[in-house]
A and B are shown apart, each in its own frame.
Chain A
Amino acid sequence: MPEVFTSILSTLLAGAVTAAQVAVGAALIALVLGLALALLTVFTRVALVRLAIGVYVEWMRNVPALAHLFVIYFGLASVGLRLSPKGAAILGLGLVGAAILCDVFAAGMRALHVGQREAALAVGLSPGQSLRCIVLPQMLRLTLPAVGNYASQLIKDTSIASAIAAPEIMFYARNLVTSTFQTPLIYATAILLYASIVFPVSWAFNIAERRLGVGR
């Protein structure tokens, strides 16, 4: 029994490495693209840009991630754009995350008093400086809880990548089942493995929130 368990755990841990790569890659896309879209939608005067971003965000947020992954992995391959399962998972989850974080960041910036920016400009900061030194830090502090929720959601969502055969935790779990038939043990281990990744991440965000005095 212990040997069986350790062999299951070591196989699933190999999947956890892929899961972590997918999560980090997707998070990077989501943070950069999400922030860019949020800045654009908050500060642009062109209604068409706001509309386009709105359509993107609503499409991404109201369609299951699995459908996005299938469009990117199977759909794009059929028109000649072939991505690896892992690449498709990173791109798909990253694009979904960008929509989520765009909403979060835009709401965070709108929640700041307009006087913050006006005062920054009045004391002689350039628009870029006022954004970088005054608006963004406060916005990030304000949105930290929502970003934390997104982070744990993202870690859990990497499991969906198994549907396009990215070799992450659930993919290995299903393979192990067909080779060892230790079904309940394997899935219980997988569940505990996810929980032991998600809990520390959400604790880290909780600690950061307390340190930064979020919600004061």
Chain B
Amino acid sequence: MNAFFHVYRDYLPEWWPRLMEAARVTAELSSLGFALALVLAALLVAMVRSRYAPLKHFANAFIQFVRAVPLLALLLALYFGLPSFGITLSGYWAGVVGLGLQGAAYVAEVLRGGLNSVHRGQREAALAAGLPPYKVFTNIVLPQAMRVMLPPLLNCYVSLLKDSSLCALIATDELMLTARAMSSEYFLPLHIFVLVGLFYFAIAFPLSMFSRLLAKRLSRGRRALGVA
């Protein structure tokens, strides 16, 4: 057991800077993917809530379909398949797009659920009181929806962070690919993959805990409705 930890004492100074750099790429990749997911999801929800039936059906079908497809298949299709149509993306950007598309389907469900959780009387009352429609949305509906949406949104980010590990398979130098390269250099796969697991854990666990805390706090005084 002691020998196991001695390996870390000997090699950590060499490993640390490489893994930190890779962790930066992972954080960047998942954050960009999440930003894209938020934008696409907002668009999808606007389509779902529109009165124009084709848009509504398209958005719903898109959400259902993307949720049934593994991210890895999406990433490989984007990275290896798109060049056949003259669009070449680097592994990094194929990763951002793939994570964004996949994330959008999940985030859209969260946004939709959040907006639906606000009683329609709130909106009607605000309109009746003479507020312009955009203010009804930004000042009345959105703040109330936020308390339902925020915790699951954080969970979506954590999922995306973990899923970004699949970008290793399309040649993106993030944590997982760096770990693979290091494991074939040092022949210490157990040490390296446990360590890289700790890197993910160090980012994901605090966020998960924060999301749980937030869910408890924000649902105070509205105990009838559970938080998804």
Interface residues of A (CB under 8 A from B): 58-59, 61-68, 70-71, 74-79, 152, 156-160, 162-163, 169-170, 173-174, 177, 183-184, 187-188, 190-191, 194-195, 198-199, 202
Contacts and interface: CB of A to CB of B under 8 A. Distances in A.
B134 to A, nearest CB: 34
B158 A62 contact: yes
- The prevalent SS among residues of A at the interface is helix
B138 interface: no
A160 B190 contact: no
B68 A199 contact: yes
B72 A62 contact: no
Interface stretch (B37-45, B125-133, B141-149, B159-167): B159-167
B72 A75 contact: no
Contacts, number: 122
Interface stretch (B12-20, B52-60, B111-119, B180-188): B180-188
Contacts of A163: 168-169
Given A63-B200, A64-B200, A70-B193, A198 B68 contact: yes
Nearest to A169: B73
B190 A71 contact: yes
Contacts of B104: none
Contact of B176 (A58, A66, A156, A157): A66
Interface of B: 65, 67-74, 76-77, 80-81, 83-85, 158, 162-163, 165-166, 168-169, 176, 179-180, 183, 187-190, 193-194, 196-197, 200-201, 204-205, 208
- The prevalent SS among residues of B at the interface is helix
Contacts of B194: 71, 75
A22 to B, nearest CB: 13
Contacts of B81: 183-184, 187-188
A202 B80 CA distance: 29
A82 to B, nearest CB: 12
Given A159-B70, A173-B73, 19 more contacts: A59-B197, A61-B208, A62-B158, A62-B205, A64-B163, A65-B162, A66-B168, A71-B197, A74-B193, A75-B190, A78-B189, A152-B67, A156-B70, A156-B71, A159-B73, A183-B81, A183-B84, A184-B84, A195-B69
A174 B77 CA distance: 10
22 contacts: A62-B204, A63-B162, A63-B201, A64-B163, A67-B200, A68-B197, A70-B180, A71-B190, A71-B194, A71-B197, A74-B193, A159-B72, A160-B72, A162-B72, A177-B80, A184-B81, A184-B85, A187-B80, A188-B77, A191-B77, A198-B68, A198-B69
Nearest to B191: A75
| A-B complex: 4 closest residue pairs judged by Cβ atoms | A75-B190, A74-B189, A64-B165, A187-B77
Contacts of A66: 165-166, 168, 176
Contacts of A199: 68
Contact of A78 (B72, B76, B187): B187
A173 B176 contact: no
Given A71-B194, A75-B193, A184-B84, A191 B73 contact: yes
